[in-house]
Structures are given as C-alpha cells and as structure tokens.
Copies of this chain bind each other. A is one copy, B any other.
Amino acid sequence: MIMVLKKESTSTQVDHLISWLKGQGLEVHIFPGDKGTVLGLIGDKKKIDIELLAGLEIVEAVRDVTEPFKQCNRRFCPEDTVISVGNAKIGGGHFALIAGPCSVENEEQILQVARQVKAGGAELLRGGAFKPRTSPYDFQGLGAEGIRLLLQAKRESGLPIVTEIMNINALELFAEVDVIQVGARNMQNFDLLKELGKTSKPILLKRGLANTLKELLMSAEYIMSEGNQNVILCERGIRTFDTYARNTLDLTAVPMLHELSHLPVVVDPSHATGKAGLVPPMAMAAVACGADGVMVEVHNDPLHALCDGAQSLDPEQFADLAKKIRALRSVI
C-alpha cells in the first residue's frame, strides 16, 4: 500500500502517523520527496481501515497496490475455472445457453418451455420460483411449488436447472437445484453469500445495478472464502441515465472480468435490455466479446405469440438465435 502525504505536513504529524502505523504491526518504508513524503506499507492491512487513513488531514492519497480479491483473482490462479452442470460445461472455452421463462407459471407452461428450449439448443433451463419484485403488491412467484415444477421439468427434459434464492432459510428447497442464482438486488446480501459458500453448488452471481466489477468480484470472494469455488459471474445491465433500454448492458465487463478473474462470465441480455428485439443482437455481441454463456428468456405464451414483442423470445426466435450463436462461435 502506498500513502502519499501532503507536502505541508509537519514532521511531528508525519512521525506520529508512522509510529501509529508501526504500532498496528505494519512495516513502513519512507520515501521523502520535495512534493511530500511517500510511505510504502507492508503487512496485514485487515487490521487498519484504509478509508480512515485516506481521510486523514495530512494524507493526499492512499493507493492499495494489491488487489483485494484473492481466490477469484486470475493472478493467483491463472487457469480458467470450468463449471460442470449435468452434461453442460461453462468456462475455459466451454459455452452454455441458458433459457426459460421469467417465472414458472404452471406445470403445462414449464414442461412445454423446457421441451422447446431443449429442442432449440439450450444446455440449461432457467425459471423463477421466488421473484424479487419492487412492489409488495406484485406477483411474488410460486415459491416452493415453483421449485417442485422446475424439478419435474428437469426430470422430463434432462436439462439441469437454474433458479433464484432470496432467503437463506429457503435453502433446503434447493437441494436438487443444479445452479442457484443470486439476483442483482442480493449481490451484497453478505450473509446469504456466506451461507451459499458453505454449499458446493454452482452459484450464478448477478452483478448489482450499481455495482462495480471490483464489488462483484468481492461478492464472489464472500462465497469462495467459505469454501465454494463454483461461482459463475453474470453481467445483466447497470443503471445509468439512459432510458431507451431498461438498463445499460456493460459488455466490456466480459473481457475485463476475464482479465481480472478465472471465473466464467455469463451475460443476460433479456433483463438488461427489456426488449425482445434487442436480445438477439446483444446475445451475439456477448458471444463475440468472449462470454462463456448467455441466459435468455423464452416464453410459450399466446399473448406474446400474437404480438411478437416483449422481453422474451418465442421458441422459434430462440432456436434461430442458438443457431446463429453456434455459427459465430465457429469463427472466434
């Protein structure tokens, strides 16, 4: 860690700070200069509060030259992590298409969509049983019954399933779920992350709407530091000033996360854009910049079918996209 002290600091202030730092068990290297003193600190920084140091009157800047993430850091583990789920693999050159409805609505719907996305080329089935909704008055998902229907669809289709957890107390319902999703709003629900870190299930961790890549990786680190190395990162759009699409899909996150971490990175263009017409081009773009998987919403609803719109693709649109993605992957 590098601390740049202000030029106008008195030597008493500097000495006082240095002896305090040493008292915290840190090794302090001093580089005097005509623009102010620079301190190089070596040792266990967990004991000190960097924000506090940065706010001290005599401190110009503090820069941590080591990354705060360890287990998910590519520097410490250069090999790509490959997550195996059923017959599918994600990461390290393996690609997975994850598809299914936003919410599980009933038996007929989920079984039919499962068959359709499998036929179209999906490797995993997604579907929401517990739905985080902004309003307490909106539909909150089928809950335990939704999980039961997803497991039935898994048995019938052979597709492994991905579904979201919102409350750690519901964990036992997820015993046969293949991949547990943590939604954007829970990306920093640290107690939930810690508990999931005690399982061995793959966790699909969605980036929060206003979270940096560093924060996403630190949340992965919460899971990994408890022992579960099976984390899949998911970019699903961030919140910006623009309002044409629902959120701003930050695809540059894909190569940046690959540079910073060995974990696989999946992209969800359906939630990011909120418009079916934007899903295929953005799914293609995600593949072109190196995503290890794409997660898209697919429906079988007659109202959708009639109007050919909304956030979800219909089964034919999905099969067409899956074909294009395979062609694209053959050239990159």
- In Å, the complex CA distance between A331 and B287 comes to 13
Q: Which residue on B lies nearest to A66, using beta carbons?
A: B35
Q: Which of chain B's residues have a CB closer than 8 A to the CB of A311? A: 51-52, 55
Structural contact, A307 and B57, CB atoms closer than 8 A: yes
Task: Give the residue of B188, B251, B307, B328 whose beta carbon is less than 8 angstroms from that of A134.
Answer: B188
- The reply on A138 being an interface residue by CB < 8 A is yes
The residue on B at minimum CB distance from A215 is B134
The contact of A245 among B4, B13, B242, B256, by CB within 8 Å, is B256
Given A56-B310, A239-B241, A332-B328, A189-B189 contact (CB < 8 Å): yes
Chain B proximity of A308: nearest CB distance (Å): 5
A36 vs B70: C-alpha distance in the bound complex, in angstroms? 18
> Considering the complex, which residues of chain A in the window 1-41 have a beta carbon less than 8 Å from any beta carbon of chain B?
2, 4, 13, 16-17, 20, 29, 31, 33-36, 38, 40
**Residue A17 contacts which of B68, B139, B307 (CB distance < 8 angstroms)?**
B307
A278 at the interface (CB under 8 A from B): yes
Contact residues of A between 301 and 332, Cβ < 8 Å to B: 303-304, 306-311, 324, 327-328, 330-332
> Does any Cβ of B come within 8 Å of A61's Cβ?
yes
The closest CB in chain B to the CB of A288 belongs to: B288
Report yes or no: A46 in contact with B13, Cβ–Cβ below 8 A.
Answer: no
Identify which of residues 134-170 in chain A touch chain B, using a CB-to-CB cut-off of 8 Å.
134-139, 166-169
Which of A63, A281, A328 neighbours the largest number of chain B CB atoms within 10 Å of its CB? A281
Q: Which residues of B lie under 8 Å from residue A77 when comparing CB positions?
A: none
A252 and B282 contacting across the interface, CB-CB below 8 Å: yes
Q: Identify which of A84-92, A114-122, A217-225 touches chain B.
A: A217-225
Q: Given contacts A34-B42, A244-B214, is CB(A166)–CB(B137) below 8 Å?
A: no
Q: Per DSSP, are chain A's interface residues mostly helix, strand or loop, or mixed?
A: mixed
What is the CB-to-nearest-CB distance from A62 to chain B, in angstroms, rounded to a whole number?
10
Convert A261-297 into 0s and 1s, putting 1 for each residue whose CB lies closer than 8 angstroms to a CB of B. 0000000000011111110011011111110000000
Restricting to A92-145, which residues have a CB under 8 Å from any CB of B? 132-139
27 A-B residue contacts at CB 8 Å?
A20-B303, A38-B38, A38-B40, A51-B310, A55-B310, A56-B303, A57-B309, A61-B63, A68-B137, A133-B190, A136-B222, A137-B221, A185-B189, A186-B189, A213-B244, A238-B248, A244-B256, A248-B252, A249-B250, A249-B251, A252-B273, A255-B281, A255-B282, A281-B290, A288-B328, A327-B331, A328-B331
